[in-house]
Amino acid sequence: MSRALHKLSARFVETASQPKRYGDGGGLYLVVTSKSSKRWVFMFRWRGKLTEMGLGSAVEGSSRYKSLAAARQEAASLRSLLAADINPLEAARAAADEQAAIPTFGEFADAYVALMIKGMRNLKHRAQWETSLGTREINIARVKKDAVVATKEHIRALTSLREKRIDKVETEDVLRVLKPIWLVKNETATRVRSRIENVLDAAKAADKRSGENPARWRGHLNKLLPKSNALVRGHHAAMPYEEVPKFVAGLRKRHAMAARALEFTLLSAARSNETLAMTWAEVDLTKQLWIVPKERMKAGKEHRVPLPERACEILRELEPFAESAKSVVFIGPKGGPMSNMAMPNVLKRAKAAGTVHGFRSSFRDWAGDETSFPAEVIEAALAHAIPNKAEAAYRRKDALEKRRKLMEAWAAYIGSEGSELQELDTAA
């Protein structure tokens, strides 16, 4: 190997056209086939055998272009390997194999989501996980018109993120995904950020990347993204609890089945899907109790709901229409379960603020501000899971009788406007 280094000049590399191999020293050679075909090679002896190793193109603009300075830097690194008795060619192949083993963000996210959704009972949540990370195609046609442009931009950024190697994902990649929807669809954006963070944390645990998580919120993205006023308690717009009694008074004047379902949902502080799928087999009017099976509960645990007297009145009113114990309580116009849009439509027609799910926040705020019931009793009424595993292990009781008093107090409060009850119009 020649001791003299840096024999060539950048000008010579650019203009050389005669087919030949030109040495730069230290094992680095410029191989010219024609003026438009030039490449760098590194020549070295390994165990007595002369070996040639390609380093890339010397023609500017080509896909694997490498300047004279870059070629010299790589040749110096290869000479260091030789000095350490390491075969440069074998080392390069091993590095290439290692890089090939690192998946793209999309590949890793797909595997991660497939694993995570196995433990999810709610099909809607499973679909949300898949669409938020691009595992399932997003239907832009379903997006509100005022957000279509932002959503298209978001999808392009998400597609670009999925194609990037997961160890190369940086803060700017995450921001490109979030910014188009951060203000117009903040709840969605917040979930997307959290799920990207989970995927990148998992990749780090699997030794597929290192360093800080670029999707981390506290102390990182919260300094780079604007605050949004779209966020409300529980991520659902909630009617102030002071306005609920007046709303309920108006609700009781409505004759439709959906109005009864909505009032029952308020009285029980239940989730919409729990009310809509409720069957007569789950109800014990004698004990004034509704037992929601674990399969329909978000926490995957059976939930006993103490029913205030007004909730039982609604059920007694509907009981004559029950065909069997398996029949749903709140029947839709076609005889099956009521549509999940029925209760929101009642709100819409009443021009009321908030959402159906938001009434749970109204209940939580009322109970915390206006009563002396312990927080754990209020949380149990909402069927919230206990985040502390040690506390959950010891708190095996569900405080049913304490919750019964709480729900009776809530029923008395929201019925305090004293409106007269209207007879149910079963046809409606």
Which region among 18-22, 286-290, 296-300, 373-377 has the lowest average model confidence (pLDDT)?
Answer: 296-300
Residue at 301: amino acid letter: K
pLDDT tens digits, one per residue of 321-331: 888 888 999 99
Q: How many CB atoms lie within 10 A of CB 417?
A: 13
Give the range among 10-19, 93-102, 164-173, 407-416 with minimum mean pLDDT: 93-102
User: What element of type H or E holds 276?
Assistant: helix 272-276
Cα four-point dihedral sign 401, 405, 407, 411: positive
Neighbours of 404 (CB within 10 A): 18
Residue 99 CB neighbours (<10 A): 10
**Does residue 30 sit in helix, strand or coil?**
strand
Structural tokens at position 189: 């954006």
Q: Sorting pLDDT into bands at 50, 70 and 90, what band is 408?
A: very high
236-280 residue pLDDT tens: 678 888 999 999 999 999 889 999 999 999 999 999 999 999 999
pLDDT digits (tens, 9 = 90+) for 172-220: 999 999 998 888 777 788 889 989 999 999 999 988 899 999 999 989 9
- Residue 134 clears pLDDT 90, i.e. is over it: no
The residue assigned the tokens 């030789």 is 82
Q: For the chain, what is the total number of helices (H) and then of strands (E)?
A: 17, 7
Question: How far apart are the C-alpha atoms of 331 and 349, rounded to whole Å?
Answer: 20
